[in-house]
Chains A and B, each alone.
Chain A
Amino acid sequence: MSAAREESPLRRLARDFARSRVAVVGLAVLVLVMLAAVFAQLVAPQDPYDLAQLDIMDSLQPPGTAGGAGWTYWLGTDDQGRDLWSAIVFGLRTSLEVGILATLIALAVGVAVGMLAAYAGGAVDGAIMRLVDIQLSFPAILIALILLALLGKGVDKVIVALAAVQWAYYARTVRGSALVERRKEYVEAARCLALPHSRIMLRHLLPNCLPPLIVVATVQVAHAIALEATLSFLGVGVPVTEPSLGMLIASGYGFMLSGNYWVSLFPGVALLVVIVAINLVGDRLRDVLNPRLSH
């Protein structure tokens, strides 16, 4: 980390970021959502994971029904008698955890591998890219299905499976842009200065490969959350007794034709809000971070 001269880079980033009002709103929503997820116990009247607090006789109550324990089911209940508002708050936590952790792990692995491939070239590149090919030639859903079938159920397992599915995309993207960047003068120049390899990669190649990565990563957090929903839909994913947003939507899927719209509608809306917020922030970050667009 080299020190900034006139203004810290972070501060400049914040200033640039704040120029877009929509992005600021997105960030605010995202922060709120994250807070709600972190302090779920305080925000939700019911712990939807505690089976002793649920009552099957309260299942599928429409929004606004008075519950047995003294509070109102403002968003209704699901088929197990879970207060939907509580379930959404707790589900948010699970979904965000899955989406963000899976993406970060995949990103770290993918970037490291992709940079190495592009920089080393030759046999190393060949071997790595073949590995990426293996990975990409497996349909993501299948790896996840097989992995989860082998691993069993659980949030941690879903994260591992989703990270395993996604790292190769980053590796390929990073390698692609690094290959182009590597030929550019500034890298040649850095090389002529005999700077260490790690320095060239981290300080020169990486920042220039970042913009496409951020596009992909933004997209992938959303994608990871949606993929988790799909896995839940297919019956693997997180445990039914501790539903994520995706799981809530998936179990609401069966109630769509029957008119119990709230079971899948509200979690769907919550998911939408989260993802739109993430994307707004990501989009703005990309614009700000891209050196060629910032002026």
Chain B
Amino acid sequence: MVFRLLGLATAAAILAGAGSAPAATLTIGTSAEPSSLDPHYHNLGPNTRARKHVFESLVGFDAKMRLQPELAESWRAVDDTTWEFKLRKDVKFHDGSPFTAQDFVYTVCRIPNVANSPSSFTVYTKGIAAIEVPDPHTLVIKTGKPYPLLPAELATFGIISAKAAGGEQVTFDKAGCKADSWPTSQAFNDGTLMIGTGPFKHKEYVKGGRQVLERNPDYWGPKPAWDTVVFRPITSDGPRVAALLAGDVDMIETPPVQDMERLKGTPSVTLAQAQSARVIYLALGVQDTPPTITGTDGKNPLKDARVREALSLAVDRDAIVKRVMQGVAEPANQFLPAGFFGNNPDVKVHTDAAKAKKLLEEAGYPKGFQLTLGTPNDRYINDDKVAQAVAQMFTRIGVQTKVDATTANVFFSKRNKQEYSVFLAGWQADSGEMSSPLKALVATPIKDKGYGTTNYTSWSDPEFDGMLDTALATVDDAQREKLLQAAVKRAMDATIIVPLHYEVTVWAMKKGLSYEPRADQYTLAAKVVPAQP
């Protein structure tokens, strides 16, 4: 305790220019643990958070999820299907070897070859048709068709050292690269291959216990303020807050919204919060036989646009944000908040219970019907509580609603089998742009286009799909944004997805630290700074 305070004081002193001093340690309590340290094993939030400390990507995101240079200092679209990336020349891996284009080539080759990977990053590399390396610090990437999302997708995976993995001779082949063997995930977990270019070096990893990192003294970018960073997974909300209040950790991720008032009133704690790219929504199923609607003689009332609109009008988003989310959320009117690429400022949603009742009557349901709303109870912030509040609001306009709240393992299997007429879920746009939710939630499921992967509503609108096709083939950003905004309007008019709110991500830390809150929800130790004295 005393040591840590001393550490903080000295860290502040360093920043104030007081010269070298003893070690500064930052301990962070995380809400989830990575499933592996292998940066390509599992496309999952906590894994990416861990990866970003040690391994970097060509392109990065700033705190507002806008693209920014990382290992590539610049890039441009040469033509509709060709991109050129200029790499930084001053970058060294943790073992001292220089970073070159071959490391990128090897990384792209390795990604499809991770044994037992439950969710691989191939979704982000499949757009690459060919890679040319004119010189060690230039990459020319060809895509099969116009692919505006390429830079954003290159921001999702970390680059490993080809030399450390013995892959200096491996060349890219769309059909599958050739190598004698590929690195195992185990080699990352035990630290052997934890050689990246990031601001921190790997030091120690005890599964379920802690991950220890130390500063990379040769980092090309701004040096982090911390000599040592310790990540401790504390997955239960209460104990995580308690650990911060007790001084066991210096900073925690996502304190529960219920404790926000208390944390705000605690003088030794500061908070940082940012709107995230995750929308919590209701999906209204238009199946011919509704799985969880009764009282309609087997018909599905949700096939009637008026009924869907009525349900959307019944929802009081301000009440949900204020009462259930304790103010730590933003009411949502579309799939991504204002400021994100593709947000359409003209799209609005309203609350009007009287009009909702009238619409139900017009549609032939003056007495409403019975509905079961599916929701996970351990996936999103207060998910089952939000669902209950929604059920209240539906019941009030005459749609008697029950809530079926289950753990995520049961919920997602049921939802994916379309066993709910209406379900609550969340969508986070990893690329930070509108095409992601539109493609996944609204588009008709089309296998080879990767459309409708999370469309469990049986909704299909060919005209919308066409609009999306055009937008996704438009490399010019300004033009694409217009096309996406038009698609958003069309999707919202259909009321197939009812947006509820955008989650707000919160970090709580000891007084004396500051953190620029990030829309992508990641906790990056390098960006945690001791406040100026």
Q: How far apart sit A239 and B395, CA to CA, in the bound complex (Å)?
A: 17
Q: A259 contacts B388, CB within 8 Å?
A: no
Closest B residue, CB atoms, query A257: B259
State the main secondary structure of chain B at its contact with A: helix
What residues of A have a CB within 8 angstroms of the CB of B401 in the complex? 51
Q: A56-B323, A57-B319, A257-B238 are in contact. Are A153 and B395 (CB under 8 A)?
A: no
What residues of B have a CB within 8 angstroms of the CB of A57 in the complex? 319, 323
Q: B395 contacts A240, CB within 8 Å?
A: no
Q: B392 contacts A56, CB within 8 Å?
A: yes
Q: A52-B395, A235-B377, A240-B377 are in contact. Are A153 and B258 (CB under 8 A)?
A: no
Q: A59-B324, A241-B391 are in contact. Are A235 and B238 (CB under 8 A)?
A: no
What residues of A have a CB within 8 angstroms of the CB of B323 in the complex? 56-57, 59-60, 79, 81
The 8 Å CB contact of A259, one of B261, B391, B407, B410, is B261
CB of B70 within 8 Å of the partner chain: no
Range class of the B interface residue count: 35 or more
Q: How far apart sit A55 and B410, CA to CA, in the bound complex (Å)?
A: 29
CB of B527 within 8 Å of the partner chain: no
CB of B433 within 8 Å of the partner chain: no
Q: How far apart sit A277 and B466, CA to CA, in the bound complex (Å)?
A: 68
What is the minimal beta-carbon distance from A67 to any residue of chain B, in angstroms?
Answer: 15
Q: A79 contacts B324, CB within 8 Å?
A: yes
What is the minimal beta-carbon distance from A87 to any residue of chain B, in angstroms?
Answer: 13
CB of A255 within 8 Å of the partner chain: yes
CB of B218 within 8 Å of the partner chain: no
Within 8 A of B (CB), among A187-201: none
CB of A34 within 8 Å of the partner chain: no
CB of B173 within 8 Å of the partner chain: no
What residues of B have a CB within 8 angstroms of the CB of A253 in the complex? 238
Q: How far apart sit A79 and B320, CA to CA, in the bound complex (Å)?
A: 11
Q: A57-B319, A59-B324, A257-B241 are in contact. Are A80 and B378 (CB under 8 A)?
A: no
Within 8 A of B (CB), among A218-242: 234-236, 239-241
The 8 Å CB contact of A79, one of B238, B385, B396, is B385
Q: A56 contacts B324, CB within 8 Å?
A: yes
Q: How far apart sit A58 and B237, CA to CA, in the bound complex (Å)?
A: 25
Q: A54 contacts B392, CB within 8 Å?
A: yes
State the main secondary structure of chain A at its contact with B: loop
What residues of B have a CB within 8 angstroms of the CB of A55 in the complex? 392
What residues of A have a CB within 8 angstroms of the CB of B396 in the complex? 52
What residues of A have a CB within 8 angstroms of the CB of B358 in the complex? none
Within 8 A of B (CB), among A53-98: 54-57, 59-60, 79-81
Within 8 A of A (CB), among B370-385: 377-378, 384-385
Q: A239 contacts B403, CB within 8 Å?
A: yes
Within 8 A of A (CB), among B277-322: 316, 319-320
Closest B residue, CB atoms, query A60: B323
Q: How far apart sit A255 and B388, CA to CA, in the bound complex (Å)?
A: 17
Q: How far apart sit A60 and B393, CA to CA, in the bound complex (Å)?
A: 18
What residues of A have a CB within 8 angstroms of the CB of B260 in the complex? 258
CB of B242 within 8 Å of the partner chain: yes
CB of B406 within 8 Å of the partner chain: yes
The 8 Å CB contact of A240, one of B237, B316, B320, B403, is B403
What residues of B have a CB within 8 angstroms of the CB of A173 in the complex? none
The 8 Å CB contact of A254, one of B237, B261, B389, is B237
Q: How far apart sit A236 and B237, CA to CA, in the bound complex (Å)?
A: 18
Q: How far apart sit A152 and B410, CA to CA, in the bound complex (Å)?
A: 9
Closest A residue, CB atoms, query B237: A254
What is the minimal beta-carbon distance from B467 to any residue of chain A, in angstroms?
Answer: 37
What residues of A have a CB within 8 angstroms of the CB of B405 in the complex? 153, 235, 239-240
Q: How far apart sit A80 and B391, CA to CA, in the bound complex (Å)?
A: 11
What is the minimal beta-carbon distance from A147 to any residue of chain B, in angstroms?
Answer: 12
What residues of A have a CB within 8 angstroms of the CB of B395 in the complex? 51-52
What residues of A have a CB within 8 angstroms of the CB of B237 in the complex? 254
Q: How far apart sit A256 and B258, CA to CA, in the bound complex (Å)?
A: 9
Q: A239 contacts B242, CB within 8 Å?
A: no
Closest A residue, CB atoms, query B405: A240
Q: A56-B389, A80-B392 are in contact. Are A255 and B403 (CB under 8 A)?
A: no
CB of A260 within 8 Å of the partner chain: yes
- 28 example contacts (A-B, Cβ-Cβ < 8 A) are as follows A52-B395, A52-B400, A55-B392, A56-B392, A57-B319, A79-B324, A80-B385, A80-B388, A80-B389, A149-B407, A149-B409, A152-B406, A235-B377, A235-B405, A235-B407, A236-B407, A239-B404, A241-B388, A241-B391, A241-B402, A255-B258, A256-B238, A257-B238, A257-B241, A257-B245, A258-B261, A259-B261, A259-B262
Interface residues of chain A, those whose CB is within 8 Å of chain B, are: 51-52, 54-57, 59-60, 79-81, 149, 152-153, 234-236, 239-241, 253-260
